[in-house]
Structure 1
Amino acid sequence: MGALGDIGGLIMTPLYYVISAVLVAWHWLFTEIGMDPDSGLVWVLSIIGLTLTVRAALIPLFVKQIKSSRNMQLIQPKVKELQKKYGHDRERLAQETMKLYKESGTNPFASCLPLLIQMPIFLALFRLLDKHAARGDGKAFITKDLADSFQHAELFGIPLKSTFLRADGDVAVMIVAAILVVAMTATTFTTQRQLMSKNMPADALSGPYAQQQKLLLYVLPVVFAVGGIAFPIAVLFYWTTSNLWTMGQQFYVIRNNPAPGTAAEKAKAERDRAKAEKHGKPVEPELAAPVVEEKPEAPKRQQPKKQSREQRKKSQGPRPTPKPKPEGGTNE
Structure 2
Amino acid sequence: MDTIASLFSFITTPVSWVIVQFHTMYGAIFGPDTGWAWGLSIVSLVVLIRICLIPLFVKQIKSTRNMQALQPKMKAIQERYKSDKQRQSEEMMKLYKETGTNPLSSCLPILAQSPFFFALYHVLSAIASGKTIGVIDEPLLASARQAHIFGAPLAAKFMDSPEKVAALNASLTDVRVVTAIMIVMMSASQFFTQRQLMMKNVDLSVKTPYMQQQKMLMYIFPLIFAGMGINFPVGVLVYWLTTNVWTMGQQMYVINQNPTPGSKAQDAYLQRLLKSVTQHAEVRGRRRKNIVKAIVAKGADRNDNERRFFAGLAKAGFAAQPDGSVNKSDSVSVEAEGGAAAKRQQPKRQTKSQRQTAGGQQAGGQPAEKAETSEKSEKSEKSAPSLEKKPESTEKGSKAGSASSGDKPARPSRANSGGQRKGQQRPKHPSSKK
Aligned to 1:149, which of 143, 168, 171? 143
Aligned to 1:97: 92
**CA positional deviation for 1:243:** 0.3
**CA positional deviation for 1:8:** 7.0
1:194 aligns with 2:196: yes
**CA positional deviation for 1:35:** 2.5
User: 2:233, 2:76 → 1: CA distance?
Assistant: 49
Aligned to 2:275: 274
**CA positional deviation for 1:155:** 2.5
CA RMSD in angstroms comes to 2.5
Q: Which amino acid aligns with 1:160?
A: L
Aligned to 1:305: none
The correspondence of residues 223-242 of structure 1 with structure 2, limited to 5 A, is 223-242=224-243
1:264 aligns with 2:265: yes
Q: 1:282–1:147: structure 2 CA closer, same or farther, 3 Å change rule?
A: closer
Unaligned segments of structure 1, at least 5 residues: 296-332
**CA positional deviation for 1:153:** 1.0
Q: What is the TM-score when the length of structure 2 is the normalising length?
A: 0.61
Q: Which deviates the most, 81-90 or 224-233?
A: 81-90
**CA positional deviation for 1:69:** 0.7
User: 2:206, 2:9 → 1: CA distance?
Assistant: 41
Deviations 1:88-134 (A, max 9, x none): 4332222111111111111111111211222232111111102x112
Check conservation: 2:189, 2:245, Cα contact below 8 A: yes
Deviations 1:231-263 (A, max 9, x none): 111111110000000011111111111121111
Check conservation: 1:135, 1:151, Cα contact below 8 A: no
Check conservation: 1:163, 1:232, Cα contact below 8 A: yes
User: 2:75, 2:151 → 1: CA distance?
Assistant: 57
**CA positional deviation for 1:226:** 0.4
Check conservation: 1:135, 1:147, Cα contact below 8 A: no
Q: 1:294–1:240: structure 2 CA closer, same or farther, 3 Å change rule?
A: same
Aligned to 2:22: 26
Aligned to 1:45, which of 37, 40, 43? 40
**CA positional deviation for 1:213:** 2.1
**CA positional deviation for 1:281:** 4.7
Check conservation: 2:203, 2:263, Cα contact below 8 A: yes
Aligned to 2:121: 126
User: 2:19, 2:5 → 1: CA distance?
Assistant: 22
Check conservation: 2:187, 2:222, Cα contact below 8 A: yes
Check conservation: 2:276, 2:283, Cα contact below 8 A: no
Q: Which amino acid aligns with 2:189?
A: T
1:218 aligns with 2:219: yes
User: 2:38, 2:283 → 1: CA distance?
Assistant: 53
Q: 1:188–1:151: structure 2 CA closer, same or farther, 3 Å change rule?
A: same
**CA positional deviation for 1:178:** 0.7
Check conservation: 1:180, 1:236, Cα contact below 8 A: yes
**CA positional deviation for 1:293:** 4.8
Aligned to 2:174: 172
Q: 1:235–1:197: structure 2 CA closer, same or farther, 3 Å change rule?
A: same
User: 1:245, 1:148 → 2: CA distance?
Assistant: 30
User: 1:15, 1:204 → 2: CA distance?
Assistant: 42
Check conservation: 2:259, 2:266, Cα contact below 8 A: yes
Q: Which amino acid aligns with 1:248?
A: G
**CA positional deviation for 1:271:** 1.2
User: 1:181, 1:205 → 2: CA distance?
Assistant: 34
Larger Rg, first or second structure (1 or 2): 2
Check conservation: 2:202, 2:260, Cα contact below 8 A: yes
Aligned to 1:55: 50
**CA positional deviation for 1:214:** 3.1
Q: Which amino acid aligns with 2:229?
A: G
User: 2:128, 2:249 → 1: CA distance?
Assistant: 31
Q: 1:94–1:214: structure 2 CA closer, same or farther, 3 Å change rule?
A: farther
1:64 aligns with 2:59: yes
User: 1:38, 1:16 → 2: CA distance?
Assistant: 22
Q: How many residues align?
A: 287
Q: 1:167–1:102: structure 2 CA closer, same or farther, 3 Å change rule?
A: same
1:288 aligns with 2:310: yes
Check conservation: 2:150, 2:178, Cα contact below 8 A: no
| SS of structure 2 residue aligned to 1:23 | helix
**CA positional deviation for 1:67:** 0.9
Deviations 1:37-68 (A, max 9, x none): 01111110101011101111111111111111
Aligned to 2:432: none
User: 1:47, 1:225 → 2: CA distance?
Assistant: 20
Unaligned segments of structure 2, at least 5 residues: 163-170, 285-291, 297-305, 313-335, 341-434
Q: Which amino acid aligns with 1:164?
A: F
| SS of structure 2 residue aligned to 1:28 | helix
List structure 1 runs of 4+ shifted beyond 4 angstroms: 280-286, 290-295
Q: Which deviates the most, 112-121 or 179-188?
A: 112-121
Q: Which amino acid aligns with 1:288?
A: F
Aligned to 2:68: 73
User: 1:124, 1:204 → 2: CA distance?
Assistant: 41
User: 1:85, 1:111 → 2: CA distance?
Assistant: 26
User: 2:138, 2:278 → 1: CA distance?
Assistant: 63
Check conservation: 2:43, 2:239, Cα contact below 8 A: yes
Deviations 1:199-244 (A, max 9, x none): 121355422x334423432222111100101111111111000000
User: 2:70, 2:212 → 1: CA distance?
Assistant: 15
Aligned to 2:111, which of 105, 113, 116? 116
